[in-house]
A and B are shown apart, each in its own frame.
Chain A
Amino acid sequence: MNFDYTFHWRPVMRKLPDLLEASLTTLQISVLSMIIGITFGLILAILRMNGPKPLAWIATGWVELARNTPALFQLFFFSFGLGAFGLHLTPYFIVLAGLTFNNAGYLAENFRGGFQAVPETQMRAARSLGMTAWQSYTRIVIPQVFRIVYHPMTNQLVWAVLMSSLAMIVGFRELAGETQALAFKTFRIFEYFAVTALIYYVMVKVILGLSRLIAWRMFRY
């Protein structure tokens, strides 16, 4: 078999600014889906632990679906699934909802583990000093939970960045979507995806590095 493919990198390099701009979109939507996901994840975890039965069941259902079905299908649910009921979200909101749903499911389990890892006696000690339940949670328990779930949370952000590439299937032009559009215009498919893979790699490395730096600054104990 002859290998007669010639690499042409120049068309890719010319479009590099477009790719970098799209990677900002990727970052933006991933981070936003994390912020909302953390909020929902916390609520889901608390509902599963202390919520009234029906709400606890819904929370459990959410977590089970998010963790045990393909992320792609979750994205399809918010596009074709809701579309079947006549509810058409824009590609941006489909991706945001899909990512957030998935993040919240995984994070809820992290948070639940985190809460269980803080000894109950910490709460007792706080209450014995006259702190209210709210003060004990916000000043004593949650800061400790936060440290326990910090690195799993970073992993989830990395996963969100990589998973957001599924967005190209529902037609959203983040980094992967942009790459696909440009690649099929020029047919330099390998070159485009190689460069994009490298951009993802660098993004993830930067996130991990920053996360480590923040952890080092924040957790002195």
Chain B
Amino acid sequence: MIEIKELHKYFGALHVLKGIDLNVQKGEVLSIIGASGSGKSTLLYCTNGLEAIQKGEVIVDGVSVHSKGTDLNKLRTKMGMVFQQWNSFPHLTALENVALAPKIVKGKSKSEAREIARQQLEHVGLGDKIDNYPSALSGGQQQRLAIARALAMEPEYMLFDEATSALDPELVGEVLDTMRLLAEEGMTMICVTHEMGFARDVSDRVAFFHQGVMEEIGPPQQIFGEPTSEHTAKFLANVR
């Protein structure tokens, strides 16, 4: 379980997150929607400790992420992250991209790591691309590669930071399909997204962020059907 308590984050004088309270249960799919600059992505970075926080707490399976003694590297293996700019490692083949972290972080043997990588690439539909370098893959394939790379660490949570925002429109579908597949398999997911269709169909809950505040959270039918906040209603009217 991920527990976020009274979380405040500043970039200099800019107050980006203004006291976020949020729990994510095992097996849940949470989508976070909202305008750019509302703090959605920052929340993900704070969740896996890539960004420091100024106040509050993030607790993952009972471990406080931002406490001094926390082994962040170990904790991060529990939380796979997929970025907007997919960030595949250009100097490694697809297989090497996925096999590297299991080998050097988890200490798997070379053949074990390669086997895991092969399985995960198969899983996201890239079984025929294992020896390709990222430069030979499309944006959608690179993003699926990034998903496979995160999955190879056998995470319990997956954090998606606008995973489809940088993709050409015709490539969005294949990545969303992969994310749907993970949701069906019971993966716990936090998805910052601009894909309203995905948020509505796949999520258990949807949270709406507005200027660093979580304005409301609820089941998709409620958020999309009868939003209680006028900001939510306005936002949804604009994206439709």
Instruction: Point out residues on A near B: beta carbons under 8 Å.
Output: 119, 121-122, 124-132, 135, 139-140, 143-144, 147, 220-221
Contacts and interface: CB of A to CB of B under 8 A. Distances in A.
Contacts of A135: 104-105
Majority DSSP secondary structure for residues of A touching B: helix
Nearest to A127: B50
A127 B87 CA distance: 12
Nearest to A138: B104
Interface residues of B, number: 27
Interface string B191-213: 00000000000000000000000
B104 A122 contact: no
Contact of B76 (A121, A128, A140, A143): A128
B189 to A, nearest CB: 15
B90 A128 contact: no
Interface string B47-91: 010100000000000000000000001101101110101010111
Contacts of A144: 90-91
Contact of B89 (A124, A140, A147): A140
Nearest to B49: A127
A205 to B, nearest CB: 29
A108 B186 CA distance: 50
Given A122-B89, A125-B89, A130-B106, 15 more contacts: A124-B50, A124-B87, A125-B87, A125-B146, A127-B73, A128-B81, A128-B83, A129-B76, A129-B100, A129-B105, A129-B149, A131-B101, A139-B100, A144-B90, A144-B91
Contacts of A130: 73-74, 76-77, 101, 105-106, 153
B135 interface: yes
B224 interface: no
Contacts of A140: 89
A135 B91 CA distance: 15
A192 B176 CA distance: 72
